[in-house]
Structure 1
Amino acid sequence: MTVTKIEPVTKSKYKIYLDGQFAFVLYKGELSRYQIEEDGLLEEAQYQRIRNDIVLKRAKLRAMHLLTDMGRTESQLRSKLALGGYPEDIVGEAVEYVKSFGYIDDMEYARSFIESRKDKKSRKELYAALSQKGVEKELIEQAFEECYGNEDSRAAIEAILQKKKYDPHTADHAQTQKILGYLVRKGFHYEDIRQVIQVSEWNA
């Protein structure tokens, strides 16, 4: 393989291109240690040593650190590693490595995410948020079934009404229509909203 390009990323880090394709990122000292220079040759054995002993090892440690820092979905972790300059194949192996220890579990992530927010957010909002984080549709739907069971979204509606300081006894028609519109836009069902407001009136 020919080192076709060495591109600075920072003062100490460089992108290495082999045969015109991005291969990995190395530090300045590693360039010297492995005698990597533009137009130079890199033997297959040397390439595998660098890939497995340096780059892949570094990616695995980075993945572990990212997951220790905060919970992430598989998609989020892949994106973070890619942004860190790791090629797709290295990212894939690093992700499989942490998955083998159970450090990534999108199903468990979805469950935890829903449980911690279902009394404040509608299902529509939670679904959108999890989709944006890269959780697959089937996992989101399964998590909803497990977290909600036969429950509805009324607890979340009640919490929002309290937060908005909505009082069904003192609110006029315009205020009621405004809060109804707000809750419907957030993804709550009209019938659930109506019943929560009626119960609030009866219990007052």
Structure 2
Amino acid sequence: MTVTKIEPVTKTRYRIYVDGQFAFILYKGELSRYLIAEDAEITEETYETIRTEVILKRVKLKAMHLLSDMDRTEGQLRTKLRQGGYTEDMIDAAVDYVKSFGYIDDEAYVKRFIAGRKDKKSRREIYAALCRKGIPKEQIEAAMEDCYEKEDSCGAIRKILEKKKYDPATAKDEEKRRIMGFLTRRGFSYDDIRQVIQVSEWNA
């Protein structure tokens, strides 16, 4: 095995290529410790020692730090670790490690996400936000079935009407059309919007 390229990432970190393939990122002191230099030979034993005793420990600690910093999905964690320059097999190992402690649970994450937003945003907005976080559509749909009742959507609409200071007693037809258009664009169903507005008018 031959170190074919050493590419600076920062002043202290270097991207190492072995036999033409990206292998890992090492710090400057580690280059000296493991005698890493361009065109130098590297034994399989040294290569595996670096992977298991340096990189694997580092990626596990990085994953733990990222999860202590904020709640993340598995997809988000994988993205951050890739940005850190870790290979897919090391990322897999780190994800398995944090999962073994229960630090990643996408199903619970999705339900918490929905519960914290369902009285402020439409289902469509929440669905889109979870898709952007890399949650599979089937998992989102299943969680929504568990978390949503019709009243949730109507409650969110009522909160928006209150925030917009929509008064059914004084609203003119143009204002009513405008607010219905706004709510429709936010992803609320026409039936739910009409129900809330009609009830508000009756109670006005």
Q: Which residue of 2 aligns with 1:163?
A: 163
Change (3 A) 1:156 1:150: closer
Are residues 200 and 127 of structure 1, via their aligned partners in 2, closer, same or farther at CA, if it must alter by over 3 Å?
same
Please tell me the residue identity of whatever aligns with 1:189.
S
Structure 1 segments of 4 or more deviating over 2 A? 149-152
Contact 2:118/2:152, CA 8 A, preserved across alignment = no
Contact 2:119/2:152, CA 8 A, preserved across alignment: no
Q: Partner of 2:62 in structure 1?
A: 62
- In 2, Cα distance between the equivalents of 1:91 and 1:161? 46
Residue pairs, 1:1-204, within 5 angstroms: 1-149=1-149, 151-204=151-204
AA at the equivalent of 2:32: S
For residue 203 of structure 1, report the CA deviation from its aligned partner.
2.1
Calculate percent identity across the aligned residue pairs. 65
Counterpart-to-counterpart distance in 2, 1:25 and 1:32: 14
2-structure distance, mates of 1:172, 1:94: 59
Task: Describe the SS at the equivalent of 1:16.
Answer: strand
* Deviation string, structure 1 residues 58-87 (Cα, Å, up to 9, x no partner): 000000000000011111000000001111
Q: 1 CA distance for matches of 2:2 and 2:9?
A: 20
Shift of 1:91: 1.0
Cα drift, residue 149 of structure 1: 4.3
Q: Deviations over 1:72-119 (max 9, x none)?
A: 111100000000111111111111111111111111110000000000
TM-score w.r.t. the length of structure 1 is: 0.97
- Which whole-Å CA distance do the structure 2 matches of 1:169 and 1:102 have between them? 52
Secondary structure at the residue paired with 1:38? coil
Query: Secondary structure at the residue paired with 1:153?
Result: helix
| Cα distance in 2, alignment partners of residues 34 and 182 from structure 1 | 62
Change (3 A) 1:199 1:149: closer
CA displacement at 1:151 relative to structure 2: 4.0
Q: List per-residue Cα deviations over 1:31-70 (Å, max 9, x = no partner).
A: 0000000001111111111001110110000000000000
Q: Which runs of 5+ in 1 are unaligned?
A: none
Kindly provide the amino acid, as one letter, of the partner of residue 126 in structure 1. Answer: I
Distance 1:41 1:149 in 2: 64
The unaligned stretches of length 5 or more in structure 2 are none
